[in-house]
Structure 1
Amino acid sequence: MYSNAVRKRLRSAGVSVGKRILVEKEGKKFEGLLMPKTDFSDPDSLAIKLDNGYNIGIKLGKDVKIRKSRHREPKSILEEEKLETGKISRKLLKVKWDKSKPPVTLMSVGGTISSRVDYRTGGVYALESPEEILHNVPELSGIVNLKMEKPFNKMSEDMGPDDWARIARLAAKELNSGSHGVIITHGTDFLHYTAMALSFFLQNLSKPVVLVGSQRSSDRGSSDAGMNLICASHVAKSDIAEVGICMHGSLNDDYCLFSRGTKVRKMHTSRRDAFRPINEPPLARVWPDGRIEVKNSNIRNRTNDRVKVDSKFEPKVAMLKVYPGADPKIIDYYISKNYKGFVLEVPGLGHVPTTVSKKPWTTVIKKHAKDGIPFVCTPQTIYGRINPYVYTNLRLLYLDAGAIPGEDMLPETAYVKLCWVLGHTKKPEEVRKMMLTNYAGEITKRTEIENSLGGFE
């Protein structure tokens, strides 16, 4: 709620939340919808949604003039209001089934891309139907026939293995029931974890499973939601039978990248092209007009095979980062809590502190590895791979202590994979064999120079 002083001035000006307001400050004019104050915003600052979709905050000092706007709301905002207040009949937005277009299931599980902005209250709510999706992105109706599924609505950071299994079961059901592909709208923070899990869970995959999110909300002029969904729809009806993430490929609105679910990672907090393929080229480059340029030779093609789900999972796996001065006794703590395995993010080619150090990790790893606890080492550098043969200390860790070199697997991929492997077996030799087996493109035999440090052109 705004402060008493602000509310008094708003009443005097005849303006209330959800109405248009004109603010003058330092010779500049700002016009738009007055938004409600959020829980953590300044109670003495006005929140205004400008007509271009962006929100601004203006401190309401004595030098600031406010009055009711004399201009009508833009047509786009009026249409949003009518839809949200029920003034537009759902019948007018009815989805028409086009037999010439393939059926695709859109599974909404949460995140920015799965929501709409209420321009009256400033709130955000989840999309519930194909009609609402098409209202936001009408171009989709010219690409595919959408079927909507909404198993749950969660922020990606609140998801876990049970949610991944639920998504996998529903995706398999849809693919086996006639859908040409599945699109999963999802929050971006942990999007790659879900993509990695589905890559292992969905066995005998015969059709595309496309995960998609947005870095910018749909009320912003720079939103990437629409184009990402359009490109994802083109991938979903393509012959690329892979699990992957489809997001902006550059800072511009020109193309998206469809990257393998086990080799993609969010590499920036806010950029629209944050999701990058690691240690291999993307599966494809996708344009909004439907052009698809395959960039990777290691791709499964569409078939009529039945998709199976294997979601056995051991959640008691810890990810630990090795850093200067790190105490290996943290491993003892986790084992006391009945943890079954570890993924270690290690520097360089795969080092940890040895017996020369005051806190040797090799000694602790060797002790627990003899008891059947697996330790999988992955590169902190993200790019590149573990090499157990270059230095003496590496041989001590991998050949003597018994750690498993994680090749060029991403730390997050190794975590999901180890949980999945331990869900099937706890036998050390079988765990080692499975971790070094390439099931879903998570290991590349050779990293080409053009695929290093983000380059793949």
Structure 2
Amino acid sequence: MMRGGDGAPSRRAASLDGSVEAHEVGPLEPDVYTQDLLAELPVLRKIAEIEARILFNLDSADMQPRHWVEIGRAVHAALPRYDGVVIVHGTDTMGYTASALAFLLPGLDRPVVLTGSQRPLTDVRTDARTNLVDACLMATSGIPEVGVAFGSKLLRGCRATKVDAWGMSAFGSPSCAPLAELGVGVNLAPHTLPSRPLQAFDDRIEPRVLAFRTFPGLDPRLVMGALGAGVKGLVVEAFGTGNLPIKESSLIPVLEAARAIDVPVVIVSQSPRGAVDLHRYAGGAAAARAGAIGAGDMTPEAALAKLMITLGRVGQEGAVRAAREAFSRSWAGEVSEV
């Protein structure tokens, strides 16, 4: 954890997986981890006193929804005692975790910042040093949001997505400008969310959601099989503004079958930029008539996390209705208002 020194705001850091440390390691004592971190980055002492807690040591590809909940619970418990939180996370699934935390922590009056790196901290050409310093600075910024600090930018967590597996600017937010940009100075954007009072932590989540990308030749029977296997929700990455095939290999019967058993279907776009409009093309209009829910310009990561959390909080009936209501409004700035 980080405790602010000399009047500096405080925050905590949780090391979650192997982008900063490139291989899985055994359990570390928090004070040992803190000393190693400060040995590599002593400049962090100028920002805050660091207190670190190890939550997990695993590759981010192994992250599960239960890990999102555990991270959220730990952050929620820490918030009253610290002025900001930094979470060190692997890049492969950081967008999913950031989105989930934005929805699991609806009341924030201080920053929660995720960061990681493309190369390990001990490499000569690592980006971990800059990203960690930026994350700690952003955790003292007072921005009351879950964010991703990467490539000299702070992105809204539920808008961030990994856009590059090779370059150092690995994350982007195509439909939402950065919350902050870090150059010679720091430019804070005007569209940050207002401070909200901390709410009781709700750990309910339904992981039985299937996300898939439609493509020419997709056999609808495969998706119908998922309905038979007990899936509770579907997130469909459709073409363009939400277009789906309606002739050969039509997905419309799948959507109708899902509605009949109260399984919500949420439509996002395959395009990184732009928004779903289910009334623009015939395929989208047919999907809307079959009960599909358009997710606007939400990322697939955010739509998946939001649907899981929504379904976790609904009773035995009314899942489609609950999802439609949830996706009709923004919870944490995850969708542009129309």
Superposed CA offset, 1:119-170 (max 9, x none): xxxx977874321111011110011111111122111111111111111111
CA distance in 2, matches of 1:230, 1:208: 15
| Highest RCO, 1 vs 2 (Cα 8 Å, sep ≥ 6) | 2
User: Which residue number corresponds to residue 145 of structure 2?
Assistant: 242
CA distance in 2, matches of 1:365, 1:407: 18
CA distance in 1, matches of 2:6, 2:222: 59
Amino acid at match of 2:167: R
Q: Are the counterparts in 1 of residues 3 and 51 from structure 2 also a CA contact under 8 Å?
A: no
CA distance in 2, matches of 1:125, 1:142: 30
CA distance in 2, matches of 1:441, 1:96: 29
Matches within 5 A, 1:210-359: 210-248=113-151, 256-287=152-183, 291-301=185-195, 305-354=197-246, 356-357=247-248, 359=249
User: Which residue number corresponds to residue 98 of structure 2?
Assistant: 195
Q: Are the counterparts in 2 of residues 112 and 217 from structure 1 also a CA contact under 8 Å?
A: yes
- Match of 2:50, SS state, is strand
User: Which residue number corresponds to residue 158 of structure 1?
Assistant: 62
Matches within 5 A, 1:38-437: 98-113=5-20, 115=21, 128-176=32-80, 178-248=81-151, 256-287=152-183, 291-301=185-195, 305-354=197-246, 356-357=247-248, 359-398=249-288, 400-425=289-314, 426-427=317-318, 428-437=320-329
Amino acid at match of 2:181: R
CA distance in 2, matches of 1:266, 1:284: 18
CA distance in 1, matches of 2:4, 2:95: 32
CA distance in 2, matches of 1:129, 1:382: 37
CA distance in 1, matches of 2:251, 2:3: 62
Superposed CA offset, 1:260-291 (max 9, x none): 0110111011211010112010111124x7x4
- Measured after TM superposition, the shift of residue 352 of structure 1 is 1.3
Q: Which has the higher strand share?
A: 1
Q: Which has the larger radius of gyration?
A: 1
Amino acid at match of 1:164: W
- Measured after TM superposition, the shift of residue 227 of structure 1 is 0.8
Q: Are the counterparts in 1 of residues 297 and 335 from structure 2 also a CA contact under 8 Å?
A: yes
- Measured after TM superposition, the shift of residue 201 of structure 1 is 0.4
Q: Quick one: percent identity of the two aligned structures?
A: 30
CA distance in 2, matches of 1:98, 1:366: 59
- Measured after TM superposition, the shift of residue 116 of structure 1 is 8.2
TM-score by length of 1: 0.69
Q: Are the counterparts in 2 of residues 203 and 310 from structure 1 also a CA contact under 8 Å?
A: no
- Match of 2:305, SS state, is helix
Amino acid at match of 1:106: A
Relative to structure 1, the CA distance from residue 126 to residue 133 in structure 2 (aligned partners, 3 Å threshold; closer, same or farther) is farther
Relative to structure 1, the CA distance from residue 97 to residue 165 in structure 2 (aligned partners, 3 Å threshold; closer, same or farther) is closer
- Match of 2:43, SS state, is helix
Relative to structure 1, the CA distance from residue 126 to residue 270 in structure 2 (aligned partners, 3 Å threshold; closer, same or farther) is farther
- Measured after TM superposition, the shift of residue 365 of structure 1 is 1.2
CA distance in 1, matches of 2:287, 2:3: 61
Relative to structure 1, the CA distance from residue 429 to residue 124 in structure 2 (aligned partners, 3 Å threshold; closer, same or farther) is closer
The size of the alignment, in residue pairs, is 331
Superposed CA offset, 1:278-307 (max 9, x none): 2010111124x7x42112424334x7x435
- Match of 2:268, SS state, is strand
- Match of 1:331, SS state, is helix
CA distance in 2, matches of 1:134, 1:217: 15
Superposed CA offset, 1:310-330 (max 9, x none): 231101100111100111111
Amino acid at match of 1:437: R
Amino acid at match of 2:324: R
- Match of 2:86, SS state, is strand
CA distance in 2, matches of 1:101, 1:402: 51
CA distance in 1, matches of 2:108, 2:98: 14
Amino acid at match of 2:268: T
Amino acid at match of 2:159: K
Gaps of 5+ in 1: 1-94, 118-122, 249-255, 447-457
Q: Are the counterparts in 2 of residues 175 and 307 from structure 1 also a CA contact under 8 Å?
A: no
- Match of 1:319, SS state, is strand
Amino acid at match of 1:168: G
CA distance in 2, matches of 1:218, 1:393: 48
- Match of 2:158, SS state, is coil
User: Which residue number corresponds to residue 16 of structure 1?
Assistant: none
Gaps of 5+ in 2: none
Q: Are the counterparts in 2 of residues 259 and 277 from structure 1 also a CA contact under 8 Å?
A: yes
Amino acid at match of 1:299: L
Relative to structure 1, the CA distance from residue 116 to residue 130 in structure 2 (aligned partners, 3 Å threshold; closer, same or farther) is farther
- Match of 1:300, SS state, is coil
